[in-house]
Amino acid sequence: MILTVTLNTALDLTYRVPALTPHASHRVTQVIERPGGKGLNVARVLAALGYETVATGFAGGATGATLRDQLAPTPVRDELVETAGPTRRTVAVVDTASGDTTQLNEPGPTVTADEWTAFRTRFTALLDGARAVALCGSLPPGIHVGAYAELVRLARTAGVPVLLDTSGEPLRRGIAARPDLVKPNAEELAQLTGAREPHRATRDARRRGARAVVSSLGPEGLLAATPEGVWRAAPPAAVKGNPTGAGDSAVAGLLSGLVDDTPWPDRLTRAVALSAATVLSPVAGEFDPTAYEELLTRVKVVEETP
């Protein structure tokens, strides 16, 4: 099975309005509610692709109960740890006239020391039998900034390949623990390395400890620096829609390629196609299966000089 970790889960709310105007009242034409947080988005995509998937992390309060109720009918196995504090909500407001999305993210509950200990115990037990693990998203209040580094080391000790997708100081400390793959976006990579040029930044990130680095370049696709080579992958054309969860779908594509041991160009093709198909989906954190299958044949992957 594939294990995903979401320490800061969320109940994702998507509001669709005819047009989003500052300082005005709006009539919402559609409301969609989904279990969210980066790792849960990854888990949902992996399950839709047919992979056995287990999700762990934290959930609490009435919002957490709603999240778990909505997760229950899905193929994703719920191994979330209960918190006293309530799970956060995120709100995506989609302007249907322009296709643009405005995102509002709450900070999340404060996790206690006992709750963190309970999670570490659950995580360590779940590593037994895991083919790969993804550590995704922000840290809720109360968890130390070296938490992902701690989890990377636990996964490596268990012999489980680990993908890290976070930002800021948690990324800086986590990458030093030598994960198999990190997937920052261009801004997160620049903050980590101080370099704005993508090739230089990915090389620097690898020197900091990651075995492979895949940087998201937004509409321009992905840049991968790996022990086997450097590749750039891009969709055939820019796609417009709701970008919520697109990066998480790319992570699912990379993670599935890792467990399948597919060549890097195929992993990147899968990741870019899933990401673009997620932008085209009307629901946050889901992908359009028809668009995905069509995009698989049209993603451009080019090997570049390191």
Phi first, then psi, for residue 48 (nearest 5°) are -65, -25
Beta bridge partners of 36: 10
| Token pair of 272 as six digits | 């870019």
Mention every residue, 6+ apart, whose C-beta is less than 8 A from residue 167. 138, 184, 188, 191
Measured in whole angstroms, how far is the alpha carbon of residue 258 from the centre of its chain? 15
Taking CA atoms, 95 is separated from 98, 193, 207, 271, in Å, by 6, 35, 41, 26
| Token pair of 17 as six digits | 């309005």
DSSP 35-67: EESHHHHHHHHHHHTT--EEEEEEEEHHHHHHH
Instruction: Give the torsion through C-alpha atoms of 67, 42, 282, 78, to 10 deg.
Output: -20
What per-residue string of b and e applies to 268-295 under the rule 16 or more CB within 10 Å gives b?
bbbbbbbbbbbbbbebbbbbbeebbeeb
Q: Is 248 a catalytic residue?
A: yes
Catalytic entry in 69, 248, 260, 266: 248
If one counts every other C-beta atom within 10 angstroms of the C-beta of residue 162, the result is 30
Residues acting as catalytic residues: 248
